[in-house]
Structures are given as structure tokens and as C-alpha cells.
Amino acid sequence: MARYPLTQIIISVIATCWLSGLADASQLDLNLSAKPKWSAAELKTLERSYWIHATLGASLVKGYWAKQAAVGSLPCEYEIRNAMRLLRSYYGASRLYLIYHNEVPIRDFVETYRIWQVASAGAVDLVPTFVLRSYDKEQREVFSCQEMMELCKELKKLGVRQVAVYDVLPNRDQGQNLALLLREFPEGIIRVGIQPDESVTSPFTKVVEDTWSALCHGKTNRDWASPGFGAETLVKWIHIRNAQNVPVVWDLVAVAWDYEATQRGEYPGYDDARKNMPLPAGRNRLAARQILAQAKKTVLAGFSSDLLIVEANSRGGKRDPDGQTLYQCLKNGAIYTGYFSRPLDEIASIYRDLAKGRFP
């Protein structure tokens, strides 16, 4: 991997932090040089997306972590309408990657997807997004070929022309259904959750990049901007993707790792829902500004954020009371105010700025 020197932006951040003594880098005017680079019209066209279960959490386990697991009820029509209204307005979404990992029968997923389409009324782009390999020890294929053929057939009846594959583990063989998907959707497939050290290969024509370790690395924003920490890593990743000339959507983060275990927010050696913490305030805005400053216009396709991890940590880590997790709030038509709400609100604010053509 090529080495990239620290950019003037990072040096500027470090100097500003040192001179001002500010602990909260949300007060810093980072990446001033990037403002003239993007016109208001260009900012408005950038993708503002979320990864979210189409079933709003009927099961986070079945098909993903285990072949069999308990499955709750499907969201009803008004719950999906509530979720869509909030995701479009307050959370600023222009696109939703609707995740499906065979946790409910295909006919139920297709009907749920149809309700999302009706709720969107074309205002938000919807992309069916499939988990093709499980995350358990067996790492089996989640769908049989027959199931995938049925799924593609029914989605095409609804006018679906593009799909995505979700995987946050690097370089996995996606199995026989990847070729099937390309055959049925020849416009190309989006990869959601690609890791920074993975090359973009066929059939993927666009990627949503997982930035978790770079955005988490640093207890304070001053730490994050220091040499060897997250800001430097993020710049390296941006330059690598710039050289590949494939459209990239960059992930913004709500759930960070445990900051209590290390002095300056280094990786603690585990990812534990009982200990994970919210990303520090201002971090997403600093990252977004850096991405806008460093990414080539022909490569940067927008920003995205993983809501699966918010729901999983909210539930699994018991960070939010029953009935007050993110998905339940969306179904109820209520803005999420739980444990991870502060960084998620910041992402929503960034999205609303971009939608209005404002530099975040």
C-alpha cells in the first residue's frame, strides 16, 4: 500500500486544536479550502443514504447470525409510513438500502418492500440489499438459487432495476447468487459495507465504504486529528479510492467502540455491544468536510450510515429501554432520543445541509 503524506488539512486541524485548546472540534472551521470546490447544486446531488432492515427488525438474527431464530411481527403499513416520513424529513435521506437476509418469507419481504415504495412515492430511492452469506461459523449461503430467482422475479414486477449486496467482512466469496443477481440486474450491483483494503471488482459498479475504524480512532477530536490516528487513516483511504475511479459513498458513524479501555481512544481489541459508545460529538462533521475536501468529484457519490448497528447495539447492549430502540421509534413516528442519538442527529443535520446545498 502506498504511503500518503499528511495533508495540509490535517496539519491545520492539529494546529488549530493546539492554538485554541478546544476539546470539541465541532467548533473548528475544518476544510475551509473545500467550500468553493462544491457548488450548491453539486452538494444537493450527493447521495444521503442509510442501511436499514426492510422489516424494521423483525429479526436481527435469523439468516444473518443463525439459520433459525425467533422472528417478530412485520411492520404494518402505517409504521412504514411513519419511518419513511422521518427518514426523509428529519434524517434527510435521499436513498435507503433496505436490507433482507431471509429472516421472513420472500412473499412477506416483497410485500413489505412494496409498502416502502408506496410510502416513498418516488421521493426516496429504494435499493433492495441482500446478505448473501451468513455471519455464523458456517458462513453458508443465505438464499438458495430457487429462492433468489423467485425474489428477483417478484422485485422486477415492482419495477426494481438495481440491487445491492451487503457484507462488512472483506473478500468473501459471495456464492452462486452473485452471478444470478448480475444476470437479472445487468445495470450493475452496489456493494454495501466494502472494507478499505478491498479492491472494487466486477460485478460491483459502486460501493458504500465502511469507515468505522478510521472515524472511531481517537477519544477526543484532537486525538482523532493527531498523526497516526483516524483522520490520517481516512485521508489515506480517500486517496486509494480516488485512484480506482469507482463511485464511492462514504459511511458516517453513530456507534463507536469502547473509549473507556484506552487512554486516547485506540482500538480496544473488541467490538462489544455492551460497551460500545456513541461517536464523539463533531466527529462526523469533521469527517464529512475532510471527504468533501479530498475526494475527487468523479469518485465521491455521497454519504451513508449504518442503522443496523445502531439497532443491534441498542437492543443487544440494552442501551435503550424496550420500546425505545431506533427501529421502534421510527415505527412510532418519533425521533430517536436514545443512547446513540447524538451522533445520529449530527448525521441527520449533515444530510439536511447537503439537501439544501449547504457545506456541512
Output the pLDDT for position 340.
97
Contacts of 155 (CB under 8 A, 6+ apart): 110, 113, 128, 163
How far apart are the C-alpha atoms of 307 and 326, rounded to whole Å? 8
Return the residue matching grid coordinates 449461503: 141
Output the pLDDT for position 37.
84
In a domain, 11, yes or no: no
CA angle at residue 307 from 52 to 357, to 5 degrees?
A: 95
In a domain, 65, yes or no: yes
Q: Which three cell numbers stand for residue 171?
A: 473478500
Return the residue matching grid coordinates 488549530: 16
Strand extents, DSSP E, the chain: 47-53, 95-100, 125-130, 163-166, 189-194, 204-209, 248-252, 255-256, 277-278, 300-306
How far apart are the C-alpha atoms of 140 and 157, rounded to whole Å? 28
In a domain, 169, yes or no: yes
Give the range of the structural domain holding residue 165, as residue numbers without chain letter: 35-355
In a domain, 155, yes or no: yes
Q: Total domain count for the chain?
A: 1
In a domain, 13, yes or no: no
In a domain, 157, yes or no: yes
Return the residue matching grid coordinates 493546539: 18
How far apart are the C-alpha atoms of 145 and 177, rounded to whole Å? 6
Q: How many secondary structure helices (H) and strands (E) does the chain include?
A: 13, 10
How far apart are the C-alpha atoms of 339 and 324, rounded to whole Å? 10
CATH for 132: 3.20.20.70
How far apart are the C-alpha atoms of 28 and 64, rounded to whole Å? 40
The b/e string for 124-156 (b: 16+ C-beta within 10 A; e otherwise) is bebbbbbbbbbbeeeeebbbeeeebeebbebbe
Output the pLDDT for position 25.
40
In a domain, 333, yes or no: yes
Closest CA to 142 of 152, 127, 154, 132: 132
Output the pLDDT for position 317.
80
**Reported pTM:** 0.91
Please report the sign of the dihedral spanned by the C-alpha atoms of residue 272, residue 275, residue 278, residue 284.
negative
Mean pLDDT, consecutive 10-residue stretches, the chain (360 aa), reads 30 32 39 64 98 97 95 97 98 98 98 98 98 96 98 98 97 96 94 96 96 98 97 96 95 98 97 96 97 95 98 90 95 97 98 97
In a domain, 7, yes or no: no
Strand-strand pairing, 255-256 and 277-278: antiparallel
Q: Which amino acid is at 206?
A: K
Return the residue matching grid coordinates 462526523: 284
